[in-house]
Amino acid sequence: MRLPGARDTVRMTTSLPPTVAAHVPTEILVDGSWRPARSGRTFEVADPATTQTLFDVADGGEQDALDALTAADGASAEWRAVAPRQRAELLRAVFETITARTEDIAALVTAEGGKPLAESRAEVAYAADYVRWYSEQAVRLDGLARRAPSGTNHQLVLRRPVGPALLITPWNFPIAMIARKVAPALSAGCPVVVKPAQLTPLTTAFVAEIIRAELVERGMPAGVINVVPSSSARSVSGPLLADPRLRKLSFTGSTEVGASLLKLASEHILRTSMELGGNAPFLVFDDADLDDAVEGAVAAKMRNAGQTCVAANRFLVQRGVADEFTTRLTAAFERLVVGHGAETGTTVGPLIEKSAVDRVEEVVAQAADAGARVRIGGDRPDRPGYFYNPTVLDRVDPALRLVTEEIFGPVAPVVTFGSEAEGVELANGTPFGLVAYAYTRDVARVLRLAESVETGMLGVNRGMVSDASAPFGGVKASGLGREGGEAGIEEYLETTYVAL
C-alpha cells in the first residue's frame, strides 16, 4: 500500500531500499492530508555521503504554516477531551509500529543524515523509548488536593494541556528530536505543528504518517499532528509566533537561533522550551580507569561523527595520565572506519554538509598553526561526500576556537590540567552547560563535581547519559526546560489552582 503524500519517483536510492523510498511522504501534512505547498515549490534533500539528491520535498511557506496551526487549533478541544487512557493507547501503538519498522526508519535516518546504520537503529530504539515512556505517563498526570494551612478552605491544583505547540527540530537526530517533543505533547493533550530541519525532513514525515494513520484508525482528530517542511524556517516560525492561537514553542537547535526565537516568543508571553548548543567537557582524572575512559570518550565524541549537542567537545585530562590517555585515544581512533553509513563496517559517517567540513577544517588548522600537535587525522579522506577523518590533537591552548566553540565534527582536542579545582574551572569556562563527563574512581570527588560543574547533566564513568525516563536539558546558554522523565511532560502542561 502506498502512503498518502508519497512521491512516484525517487531520484537516487542507492542507500535507501526501494520499499522504503516508495513510502516516504514528501509533502505537507495538514489536518490529516498530505498536500503540496501552496506555492507549488519544492526543495531538494540530499544524501551527505554522496551529495546526490534523494527527494524533492514540498517547501512550506507562511500560508501553509497558518493552515497547519488552524488544523491544530481546530483539533485542540477534541484532543484534550480524549481520555488519557486512549491517548496512552495511541502512543503505545505508535511505539509498536516504530519498533516494528526499525529497519526502514533506520535506512531513512542514514540516507538523509549520514550516520552509520547501527547508530540509526539505536536512534530509532531511543526515539521509540520516549514514545513508550510518554504513553505510560499519559495516565499518571498528578494534581494536588489538600487542606489549606490556615484550615479555612481546601486547595486543588489541576493540570491541563497548554494548547497548540510549534515544535522545531535540528537535523542531527531526525527521529529522536521529534519523538522527544511529539510524544510528551500528545500525551499531555496538545496538538502540534512540526517544522523539521530542512536537511532531514524525510524521517519526520515517515513517523508523522505512522501517527496520522493511527489517529485516523481510532477515529481521533487527524489535525493533532501537522508537519510543515520548509527551506525557509522563518517563513514558518514567524507567522506562528505572531499568532495568539499558538500556546507553546519547543525548539532544539543552536543557541543563536534559540535566542532569536525567544525574543519573538516574548510578544505573546509564549511558553517555551529550549534545547540549545553544548560544549561538553570530558574530564579524566589521574585515578580514572583509562580503558573505560577511552571507551567512553569514543562513545561521547564519535556518535554521528561528533555532530551531537552532547558530544564531548573538550578533553580535559589531568597531567599524570594525559600522555597515556591521548596515546590510547589515538589508537582507538585509528580503528574507526570512515564510510557511507549504509556500508557494512562503517563506524564514522559524513558530516551533514560542505560548510560543516570547511568549518571543522578551519578550526583544526587554526589550532595546528597555534602549536597544537595533530596525533591522528587532521584531513579529509579522498572520497566524495562530506567526510572528515577522526582527529586527535594534544597540547591544545584552551583559548582556541577548537575548544571554545562547538566543533560538531570527529575531532578530539586534549587540554591538560593540574588540580581538581583547575579542571573544574576549565570545565566551567564556557557560556554552555548541557552535559559534562567525568572519569574518576573517587566517590567523594563525584559528589564535589555534581555540585561544582555548571551542567544540566553529568555522566560519571559513562560516555552516554540520555534516557527517556530522565530529565535531559541544559543550564546557562544550553537552554531552558527538560525533555524526558516526569519533567518532559510538564513543558506541555498548565497549572490551575482552585481555592475551595
> Quick one: 22 or 480, whose CB is closer to ligand NAD?
480
Interface size with ligand NAD, residues (CB under 6 A): 26
- Does residue 296 belong to the site contacting ligand NAD (CB under 6 A)? no
- Does residue 466 belong to the site contacting ligand NAD (CB under 6 A)? no
Pick from 302, 290, 338, 312: which is nearest to 122 by CA? 302
- Does residue 309 belong to the site contacting ligand NAD (CB under 6 A)? yes
Pick from 195, 196, 35: which is nearest to 112 by CA? 196
> Quick one: 275 or 420, whose CB is closer to ligand NAD?
275
Binders in 472-491 for ligand NAD, by CB under 6 A = 474, 479
- Does residue 468 belong to the site contacting ligand NAD (CB under 6 A)? no
- Does residue 235 belong to the site contacting ligand NAD (CB under 6 A)? no
Residue 150 CB neighbours (<10 A): 6
* CA diameter of the chain: 78
Minimum gap (Å) between residue 170 Cβ and ligand NAD: 3
Binders in 332-371 for ligand NAD, by CB under 6 A = none
> Quick one: 93 or 276, whose CB is closer to ligand NAD?
276
> Quick one: 416 or 478, whose CB is closer to ligand NAD?
478
Q: Which of 220, 257, 284, 338 binds ligand NAD (CB under 6 A)?
A: 257
> Quick one: 277 or 385, whose CB is closer to ligand NAD?
277
The Cα 120–Cα 111 span in angstroms is 10
- Does residue 277 belong to the site contacting ligand NAD (CB under 6 A)? yes
> Quick one: 48 or 479, whose CB is closer to ligand NAD?
479
Minimum gap (Å) between residue 368 Cβ and ligand NAD: 24
Specify the stretch interacting with ligand NAD by CB under 6 A; choose among 117-125, 190-198, 367-375, 413-421: 190-198
- Does residue 234 belong to the site contacting ligand NAD (CB under 6 A)? yes
Q: Which of 278, 377, 459, 485 binds ligand NAD (CB under 6 A)?
A: 278
Minimum gap (Å) between residue 63 Cβ and ligand NAD: 17
Q: Is 275 a catalytic residue?
A: yes
Q: Which of 21, 175, 197, 294 binds ligand NAD (CB under 6 A)?
A: 197
Catalytic residue, candidates 27, 112, 123, 275: 275
- Does residue 254 belong to the site contacting ligand NAD (CB under 6 A)? yes
> Quick one: 221 or 281, whose CB is closer to ligand NAD?
281
Minimum gap (Å) between residue 276 Cβ and ligand NAD: 5
Mark residue 375 as left, alpha or beta (left: phi above 0; alpha: psi -120 to 50; beta: remaining): alpha
- Does residue 462 belong to the site contacting ligand NAD (CB under 6 A)? no
Q: Which of 168, 207, 270, 316 binds ligand NAD (CB under 6 A)?
A: 168
Specify the stretch interacting with ligand NAD by CB under 6 A; choose among 54-62, 74-82, 257-265, 379-387: 257-265
Q: CA-based angle 209:108:50, to the nearest 5?
A: 145
- Does residue 253 belong to the site contacting ligand NAD (CB under 6 A)? yes
The Cα 248–Cα 372 span in angstroms is 45
- Does residue 260 belong to the site contacting ligand NAD (CB under 6 A)? yes
The Cα 473–Cα 476 span in angstroms is 10
Minimum gap (Å) between residue 238 Cβ and ligand NAD: 7
> Quick one: 92 or 234, whose CB is closer to ligand NAD?
234
- Does residue 233 belong to the site contacting ligand NAD (CB under 6 A)? yes
Pick from 222, 216, 190, 245: which is nearest to 69 by CA? 245
Binders in 386-415 for ligand NAD, by CB under 6 A = 406
Minimum gap (Å) between residue 350 Cβ and ligand NAD: 15
Q: Which residues bind ligand NAD (CB under 6 A)?
A: 168-172, 195, 197-198, 233-234, 237, 252-254, 257, 260-261, 275-278, 309, 406, 434, 474, 479
Catalytic center residues: 275
